[in-house]
Structure 1
């Protein structure tokens, strides 16, 4: 059968055909008039040469004695080939780069020697690892995309992946590689649904208005109505005015997009309603990649801080048991909150604020040079831990580099950390804490801190954590608080903390939730995914 004729057949048939082809080729080469040892030697040498630049693949083949796992004549190798080609064909469903299996198939059909076969063997292993590592732990290296994504991704060793695959049922092993989290499955479902919607024309014309409110009518209201219908927020309607049904739909849309939920389509709401479905699809694909980066055990109980949502949650057994609004690092190069995971080990009630040196020298030293009595609520501490009398210091004699003092703020209601902080010691000096600046939690966009995470309801957060180790968490907390003394309280059960950034979230119930890309990190990730070969994939209607 020639290649043109083969293309007329469905993908499963073509996949099976090439799987059989390799087995036939292998048998035909063994039947050629050379000694078996010469044939094996030529194959092994070709494998060794082709794998030389990939240490993990080279390690695997050295360990298995250069035996074929793809190109042999056994039914087991045929099933591996079939399973891999099937997985590669469906890679787009996971938002992975498109694998050009047609080129591989053409190359395989041109195999004419044991050396060609050895090179094909390694090529299949490379394809397998590219897919397996991509679908399991991500296509990209986070820190190479944005320096604020300092997350360590548990990427599996290639030699180990190949060895596990050889010992397993091929189709079952490949099926088990993607993240098993319910969120990943929901994101994939949303991705496939939006693929279909894009193929059917998307969400229609954008709304040509800066703002709309209940009681209005006209073309812009009709466009708003139609777009809400296509997005699934409104049943079919012939209404030409901004009535109660449209108001309710707008209210639900606002809740799903982190907007002030008032049912009025103000400028920020109109902006979000007019976002193209292609951009939303890109957010879903980025969220799937991010989910692969966190494809590890997160802890039966853990703290989940979604920076893009300005929220902090406690999750118990997969169920959210506590949620509070948060303030995150300001969108400036030296203040953005990083993304990483660590373990919360204790809280400090009535904390002292040890001012970070960067803040002390960049913000407070210039103020002290102008006025030695500035920021009088802060104390200067020398290298021996003694409080320094400001009147004896010539602040103008110091630069940011030579400034010899530490700056601290004692415990108080006005302390920058509020009355409690929650510690998961890390090299980034990031933690969760209270704040006296309560008004900021009423803002829609809440990036105001120097990088740490401020909590709207820190006391309730503390009660939830202490409930695991005392029958009276509230009483225990306030007894210590009322002393006014700085006190460390260890958590008997340390809690994993995950600082993440998700602009697309697929809840168990309801529609997709989207958030603005406040740090523009997802914009960078999407660009990197596109460079890696990921594309928006509308299905044929």
Structure 2
């Protein structure tokens, strides 16, 4: 124990003898932590620091939501220091310092955790200054809390974007977690890994990020010029003025394994490489070099790094039951995936999602699928009825009947006497009768939510032939509804594909079948996704969620933590 530490302990004893009650120098209280005891010699310096909402010696002075947890952390340990012993950083502090330095590998900003300042703080400890020890300790506590929180639940509350994802449900009690688990951790990297989503795709995304950080640096330092745009699509045998640059670009991400055998024309090797690139970027994979493909190739890999970072951020938002959701819709990819109970990919199918224009975007959220409805009615939302049906009703009172619609009151009684004004203001409800021409098709998959969003079949099957599939009013249309229904009902007695088809084609109207075991479903948003084979796919930021996320992250902490109300829906169902 050094002289300052000894004087600190003498001060505590004297204070106890004089019955002077103070949090910093008062009599010992019961410690509310399992961590090893340490000196409280710096308590008088630590106490005012953790009471402050701003710490000028930190890169981000505004400690924001971590001020109260830090104060509780030190109060629980009677203001003992946590991160130094014998005047030196503990092995745990050193390990966290390394983690802060490597934060970019996890899609985080190292400077959010003072990465560039720790060497100076360690050097300052040699002065044996009370202030240096107190500032080092409090800075480490705040940085560890911020880092572990960011790794656990992401930096931004998803409800800031009006997403119905409850990331808070898995948030740590930071004072208790850091004190009991981090301060004396045997293996800090293992502790960090335990806080992250336990999902192979998440881990593969981290690996992809590490790779793309290297590729982006490589591309940046090489100073490569953008590829020239092709006026018309170029096929095999066609001419392109920058074949060498095209080959280099395809080789950079592995779409072309080696130099083409001939570089005087657009060969089959080039076409195969371009097709591989197109498949990874949501472009029609025809192998032709067109303007869309070249524009995607000219996106700097630094932007692809940002997409991977956004994907990791959203993975961290997922509550534990949805880290391995049985059903996942990836909106920018226009794809639905189903997984087995042991988290293996079981099927993939195309979907149609909400239009980019007209405020019809499909929202991002997590819920439990609870039942199916075969041969459903479509209850037309008032805003859709007002915009798309009322003009026709005003011209032709019998319009709805000719289009398979009927009008009901609030009790569900069918009405024959109604006005277009009643329809426009929602005084009566319009619904489309069940059948193969119904806008919902012959089955819908229900997971009750604030948005009135669900999966359903559709008579407009030609849309699944498109590469970009944002055409709905918000709901998700599925490519193979019969197969999906049989899959969802596979654990139900007597339900197989034949019975599903019978229920869809000849069964009772509006027939509800409850699931014996509800299935977790995530309506998700990843513009960068890594498959089981390690292939990295990128998609357009159709709803600009990446753009909005990056705008917030670039400002630095404190990040938004508040919730905004979910938008209210008008009565009816989206399609």
TM-score tier, shorter chain, comes to: 0.7 to 0.9
- 2:92 is aligned with 1:80: yes
Q: Which residue of 2 aligns with 1:29?
A: 4
- 2:345 is aligned with 1:332: no
Question: For 2:252, what is the secondary structure of its paired residue?
Answer: helix
- 2:508 is aligned with 1:488: no
State whether residues 209 and 220 of structure 1, in contact with CA within 8 Å, keep that contact through their aligned partners in structure 2: no
Provide the rounded CA distance (Å) in 1 between the counterparts of 2:451 and 2:44. 49
C-alpha spacing 1:82/1:126, structure 2 compared with 1 (3 Å): same
Question: For 1:346, what is the secondary structure of its paired residue?
Answer: strand
Provide the rounded CA distance (Å) in 1 between the counterparts of 2:8 and 2:307. 58
- 2:486 is aligned with 1:463: yes
Provide the rounded CA distance (Å) in 1 between the counterparts of 2:496 and 2:176. 46
C-alpha spacing 1:28/1:133, structure 2 compared with 1 (3 Å): farther
User: Aligned runs of 1:294-443 on 2, under 5 Å?
Assistant: 294=318, 296-298=320-322, 302-316=326-340, 317-332=342-357, 334-376=359-401, 377-389=404-416, 392-396=417-421, 398=422, 400=424, 402-443=425-466
Runs of 4+ in structure 1 off by over 6 angstroms are: none
- 2:159 is aligned with 1:143: yes
Normalised by the length of structure 2, the TM-score is 0.80
Provide the rounded CA distance (Å) in 1 between the counterparts of 2:43 and 2:358. 52
C-alpha spacing 1:301/1:506, structure 2 compared with 1 (3 Å): closer
Q: Which residue of 2 aligns with 1:93?
A: 105
Provide the rounded CA distance (Å) in 2 between the counterparts of 1:249 and 1:287. 26
**Per-residue CA distance 1:111-162 (angstroms, 9 max, x = gap):** 7654664444322211111111112221222233x33x33221332322322
Provide the rounded CA distance (Å) in 2 between the counterparts of 1:152 and 1:28. 50
Q: Which residue of 2 aligns with 1:65?
A: 78
Per mean C-alpha deviation after superposition, the further-off stretch among 192-201 and 460-469 is 192-201
State whether residues 455 and 476 of structure 2, in contact with CA within 8 Å, keep that contact through their aligned partners in structure 1: yes
Q: How many residues align?
A: 502
1:34 positional shift: 7.2
C-alpha spacing 1:357/1:526, structure 2 compared with 1 (3 Å): same
1:497 positional shift: 0.2
Normalised by the length of structure 1, the TM-score is 0.85
Provide the rounded CA distance (Å) in 1 between the counterparts of 2:533 and 2:187. 34
Question: For 2:414, what is the secondary structure of its paired residue?
Answer: coil
C-alpha spacing 1:283/1:533, structure 2 compared with 1 (3 Å): farther
Q: Which residue of 1 aligns with 2:246?
A: 224
- 2:207 is aligned with 1:182: no
Provide the rounded CA distance (Å) in 2 between the counterparts of 1:62 and 1:304. 43
1:510 positional shift: 4.8
Provide the rounded CA distance (Å) in 1 between the counterparts of 2:87 and 2:321. 37
State whether residues 299 and 495 of structure 1, in contact with CA within 8 Å, keep that contact through their aligned partners in structure 2: no
Provide the rounded CA distance (Å) in 1 between the counterparts of 2:211 and 2:526. 19
- 2:195 is aligned with 1:169: no
Provide the rounded CA distance (Å) in 1 between the counterparts of 2:49 and 2:396. 70
**Per-residue CA distance 1:305-346 (angstroms, 9 max, x = gap):** 000100111011232111111000111353111111111111
**5+ residue gaps, structure 1:** 1-25, 535-541
Provide the rounded CA distance (Å) in 2 between the counterparts of 1:74 and 1:373. 87
Per mean C-alpha deviation after superposition, the further-off stretch among 65-74 and 306-315 is 65-74
